[in-house]
Amino acid sequence: MSTPQTKFNLKFMENRKTLFIISGVLILFSILSTFIFHAQLDIQFKGGTLISYIYTGEIDENQFKADAEEALGGMPVKVTTGTDFNTGRNNIQVSLVSNSGLTADKQIALTDALEQKYAANGIELLSSTDVSPSAGSEFFRKCIVAAILAAIVLILYIAVRFKNIGGWLAGICAIAALIHDIIIVYGSFVVMHMSIDANFMAVILTILGYSINDTIVIYDRIRENRGLYKDMPLKELVNLSTNQSLVRSINTSVTTIFAMLCVTVVALARGVTSIISFSLPMTIGLVVGTYSSLCIAAPLWVWLEEKKAAKAEK
């Protein structure tokens, strides 16, 4: 059977060394960014104090943050706004990352300063809570355990479903691509000085879903083509399958990326930083996830298959 014509004929296999180098540089930079820019752990993971206020009217989130930091003598805080669904009143939260929490005197001084500054908004103290870092550590450990269990299940699933194309190696390469995505998304949080918080976990889990879905689509195409073109060399087979999946992968990612960019622009215009810390890294993660599915998982699998075949010949 003749080789079918494809809309694209990108040489993924021939350029895999270059693709691996690009990924290696991004991973190395993401790891080094921890020491260069210093990762900022949120109150959930490091502990501290969370103070909630209720108010009426409108409050500029950035100005409120500046006023809170001034009242605390320059101590950095994180401010988020929302609405209480039970009462319908606006609320605003001030979180301060600290191993020892915020003393009662400083909490009183902060509240007095904010009540005076925002008297027109009728600002009132709703609650004040000291957050233990142990709770965040336990949450983080549970996430790691869940991720490890998910990786094992994915490897088993791919090994069974794609056993005719070397399922075990294909599963390991898919997990390697996911680890690649996690590290680079983590680096984007650190470089952009965004806190490692619940948004970080949400972005990671969403990207993993997108990335593994793209990878499985490519593996499925490889399996189909192996049945159609039994005599085709492995490199050509994988290159053909990746190019056939290219349009579908890009269209899916571009649609979501466009939506995230729109959310980012609106959030920037409205000054809602809590949404930006999700939408912007999510955009980066979608690009990285699409790249790893097309340029890392399958080329890495071919490279390992070639190594295994060469070892078997010897």
Q: Report pLDDT for 147.
A: 75
Long-range contacts of 272-280 (CB under 8 A, 24+ apart): 272/61, 272/81, 273/61, 273/62, 274/80, 274/81, 274/199, 277/189, 277/194, 277/195, 277/197, 277/199, 278/199, 278/202, 278/203, 280/188, 280/192
Phi, psi of 164 (to 5 degrees): -80, -5
Report whether 237 contacts 3 (CB < 8 A). Answer: no
Residues of the chain with CATH 3.30.70.3220: 48-131
CA 178 to CA 206: how far, in whole Å? 11
Residue 174 has pLDDT above 80, yes or no: yes
Q: How far is CA 9 from the centre of its chain?
A: 30
- Neighbour-count burial of 217, counting CB atoms closer than 10 A to its CB (0-12 exposed, 13-18 middle, 19+ buried): middle
CA 280 to CA 232: how far, in whole Å? 42
CA 300 to CA 177: how far, in whole Å? 9
Q: Report pLDDT for 181.
A: 92
Higher local confidence (pLDDT), 202 or 143: 202
CATH 3.30.70.3220 is held by the domain 48-131: yes
Residue 30 has pLDDT above 90, yes or no: yes
Whole-model pTM above 0.85?
A: no
Q: Specify the DSSP class assigned to residue 7.
A: S
The side-by-side arrangement of strands in the sheet containing 78-83 is 78-83, 90-97, 48-55, 124-131
CATH 1.20.1640.10 is held by the domain 16-42+135-313: yes
105-117 residue pLDDT tens? 888 888 899 989 8
User: How large is the average pLDDT for residues 194-201?
Assistant: 83
Residue 9 has pLDDT above 90, yes or no: no
